[in-house]
Amino acid sequence: MALEPGDPAPEVAAPNQDGETVEPDWAGVSVVYFYPKDDTPGCTTEAEQFQTELGTYRDAGVTVYGVSVDGVDSHADFADEYGIEFDLLADPDGEVVDAFDVERSRGVASRTTFVVVDGSVQATYTGVDPEGHARNVLADLVETGVVSIED
């Protein structure tokens, strides 16, 4: 069962696509989305849409992280090919997946997204449809008053 609203966000560390260790401190607002595999149709759609919305997320003070069980080299190729500028965390041992209690199917993480606000899970999305998800999460953040966006 994935972490639920009110649960503390776990302390995690994983290398990003540049091989740099990332240890989110969870201060402020973060979106952490888990996806099955680099360079597959749904995962590419989801990553590209988070990238499209990245400027708005950043303007609203939101940090975006993508996580899969792929390694650093796979993430590097994926980020280069699709122009992904946010951290893609490599989790081949599944430590981050397990810390967030994300379900796995055939060895990969199920498509699950978390909104973390000041160290606590604010929202959990399971069974995510990648099409439009990045925009929907952003809309929910605005609707719930977690962030505001200047027009």
What positions carry a catalytic annotation? 43
- Single out the residue of 18, 142, 145, 7 nearest to residue 75, CA to CA: 18
Residues facing residue 1 across a β-bridge: none
Q: Are 17 and 75 in contact (CB under 8 A)?
A: yes
Residue 60, both tokens: 């609203």
How far apart CA 53 and CA 98 sit, in angstroms, is: 27
